[in-house]
Amino acid sequence: MKISCIDRSTGAAEIAADPLRNQLLAMLPDADWKRWSALLDHVNLVRGQVLCDSGCTPTHVYFPTSAVLSLLYNTRDGQSCEVAVIGCDGLTGLSLFMGGNSTSYQVVVQTAGSAFRISAHAVKQEIDQCTAVSSMMLHFAQALMAQVAHTAACHRFQSIDQLLCRRLIQGLDRSVSDTLPMTHELVASLLGVRREGVTSAALKLQADGLIAYRRGQISVIDRVRLAQRARPKLVAANARQVRRDESPAIAV
């Protein structure tokens, strides 16, 4: 399964209003989907909105359709870095399925948009009673763990230029637009690097015709070349171990 839920030929409003634009909800068999469709609520998410704080128990599970979410690991001294990105390929609240209650990360809306949510209580009941729901959760748990592992490896072996390219691709593949609402300061915070390094990398990408930057907005001009620059050697080494169609959360 690939991140193909965003079709830019389709209007943003149409994408937002269709819960089956979320790949995981689209996996549910018809009989289970009929039951779930009555349990889901459509919500509009605002940029910067915190859906669940670290150490807290989720009250709802969110399935984004056009919104893009960040999973942030926060330190005691107030620093943070992004460990994963979730869009139309995923969900929040995996801790409810994994046997725990509280989450170890903060879930924050990075790109405003739509999602569908279901109460944590309803999800727990569904997990206990429905094999298809358990399979859906396991599928995404595997993909999310792969993304977190891939992120850790990239932060160890990649340059800031490559990290920036990778993060832009991750956002682009989950967005209804080629323009991402991101400042250099925000990107630096997500990547856990200095702002000056992000600014330098962004200027290089803009000079090479890969992106265009206006205050608070990064437009991707050439996705193919951006992905090529983002792709590290470590991906080729692991390509036989992790199939892309089983790990939609890995962008590059």
Instruction: Give strand ranges (E) for 9-124.
Output: 41-45, 50-52, 60-64, 68-74, 80-86, 106-111, 113-119
Residue whose entry in the numeric block shows the structure tokens 């605002």: 46
Q: Residue 128, SS3?
A: helix
Per-residue pLDDT of the chain (252 residues; tens, 9 = 90+): 344 455 555 556 666 689 999 999 999 999 999 999 999 999 999 999 999 999 999 999 999 999 999 999 988 888 889 999 999 999 999 998 887 778 889 999 999 999 999 999 999 999 888 899 999 999 999 999 999 999 999 999 999 999 999 999 999 999 989 999 999 999 999 999 999 999 999 999 999 999 999 989 999 999 999 999 987 655 544 544 444 444 444 445
Decide if 177 contacts 87 (C-beta within 8 A).
Answer: no
- Phi, psi angle pair for 95, to nearest 5°: -60, -25
Alpha-carbon torsion (112, 117, 120, 124), positive or negative: negative
Structure tokens at 136: 């859906």
